[in-house]
Structures are given as C-alpha cells and as structure tokens.
Amino acid sequence: MRRIFFMVVLIGMMVMAAMPTFAAEQVSKKDQQQIMNVAHRGASGHAPENTMAAFHKGVKMKADYIEIDVQMTKDGELIAIHDTTVDRTTDGSGLVSSFTLEEIRQLDAGSWFSEEFAGETIPTFEEILDEFRGKVGILIELKGPALYPGIEEKVADALIERNMHHSQNNKIIIQSFNHESVQLSKELLPNIPHGVLAGMTWAGVTDEQLAEFATYADHFNPNQNIVTTELVDRVHVVGMEISPYTSRSQEQANRLFELGVDGIITDYPEHVYSHPVKSN
C-alpha cells in the first residue's frame, strides 16, 4: 500500500514538473504562428533568387511575404535583381544599368542555380505586382537607389496605377538601406508602411536614432547578427516592428524567434512557422 502511495506521489511530481515546459511550448507555438514569414528574394534556398520561380515557390511554401530587390535598366524599366551587375545570377556580365529591358530579358537567370531552372528570366517589377498582388505580401527593397535617380517615383507610380497604395489591404512594405530613399518614398506613399534596413554598422544604434527612424518608418530590419532581446525591446518601445535578415538555418530562425522578433526574412520559409491555418 505504502509502495503504491509513493508511486502515485512520484508520478504526480513528474506530471507537475512537466507542466511548465508544456505551457511554454504552447505559448511558444502560438507566438511563432504569428511571426511574419518573409521569403528572401523569393524562396531563394530552393530556386534562383529574384525569379518568378523563386516567388512562386515562396507562395507555395506559405510565406506571408516575398522580398524583392528592385533596380532600374538603362531605359528606365524597373526589374528585380540583387547585385548591381548581372554577373553572379545570369549568364551575362556588366552593370544592370548598362542593359535595356529588352537586352536584360535575354539573359538566363536560372541556370547558375540549377539546370532545372534554365531559361528563367529577370522579371519586371510590374510583372511581379500583377502576378502576386492579393496572393502574398510583397516586401519591396529599393536596392542601390542612389544609382537610379527617380526610382522612388517609378515604384510609387506602378503601385498607384494599380491602386495598391492603400497600405495594409495589399500587404506592401517598402524598405531600403538608403534611409533618404525611404523618407522620399514615404512622402510619395504615406499610407504604405516603410522599413529601414540596418547592416552591421548599426550595431550601436541609439534610442535617438531609432526614434528618428520611427518618424517615417514602421519597420526596423537589421542584420540578424546585431539582434538582441534588448534591441528588440528598444525597437518596440518606439513603435516599430523588427524583422531581421537573413536566416539560412533552422538554428538561426529559432534564435530569432526566441529573441521575440516580429518577422524573419529567410531563404527557407519552412524554417518559420506561419499562420496556423496555413501550416496545416
């Protein structure tokens, strides 16, 4: 009898000890489902970055947003490509700004990644808007805007033409490492949320600087290596959200989640739990 009593007490203690862990996992899972899952340059761990294939893959993998890098051709057309030259991600070479749209469209933007994607082309900004509006959020990065005077106006015009400048409904966010460009874009599109990108040199960002960013930006998106819980809290105090870049492993995604970020910009959307409905 005494033995049974001790067994019951022991089992009870084991159950009690397990409860906090269980509760933490429940909270953790709930929070993680609300995190913004951003497919960086599309699902670029699985398909060639900044191509329709990568963007479609991001949608298929249930990302909340696709991130795109927008630059301009010699004849003033907006296109999606990351580097300021075409060398790394196409079969061509030279500055993006030295190609007309017709010329840059001839390049193969898929084979460098895998033969499976041979023939992928560099998409235009307008094609991306037309294909993905209403299907997924679009995080638009103005890449190297100082090289392309007027790029902010062209991006704004394309959104306004499509009636996509009314913010939340269409899930559009515009961001850049060039903070003057972000301010200019915000003036053109006051109802669209904007983001300030911050590389490693912003590791010592002050509260005053964050407060200044918050006068025109809703998002502060830093390199993941400068993110701490303290930085997350300070960004939240001034009313912005924080979505670090670029997570490329499950461990990195887990770390960012534990730090309490609002979103994760990742090459692998599967590393981030998304909305509960979506994850089924």
Active site residues: 40, 82
Closer Cβ to ligand G3P, 110 or 144, answer by number: 144
> Is 64 a binder of ligand G3P (CB under 6 A)?
no
From 138, 131, 89, select the one nearest 111 (Cα to Cα). Answer: 89
Q: How many residues bind ligand G3P (CB under 6 A)?
A: 10
CB of 145 to ligand G3P, least distance (A): 13
> Is 79 a binder of ligand G3P (CB under 6 A)?
no
State how far Cα 28 lies from the chain centre: 21
> Is 197 a binder of ligand G3P (CB under 6 A)?
yes
CA–CA dist 42, 139 (Å, integer):
10
Handedness of CA 202, 205, 209, 214 (dihedral sign): positive
Site for ligand G3P in 118-177 (CB under 6 A): 141
Closer Cβ to ligand G3P, 118 or 259, answer by number: 259
Q: What is the DSSP letter of 99?
A: S
For every residue of 239-255, which 3-state class applies, written as one string?
CCECCCECECCHHHHHH
Site for ligand G3P in 33-52 (CB under 6 A): 40
Segments in the chain forming alpha helices (H): 2-33, 52-60, 101-104, 125-132, 151-161, 179-188, 207-213, 229-237, 250-259
Task: Say which entry of Ca ion, ligand G3P, none residue 90 contacts (CB below 5 to 8 A, set by partner kind).
Answer: none
Which residues are near Ca ion by CB under 5 A?
69, 141
> Is 67 a binder of ligand G3P (CB under 6 A)?
yes
- Residues 224, 38: contact at Cβ < 8 Å? no
Site for ligand G3P in 248-267 (CB under 6 A): 265
Q: Which residues bind ligand G3P (CB under 6 A)?
A: 40, 67, 69, 82, 141, 197, 221, 245-246, 265
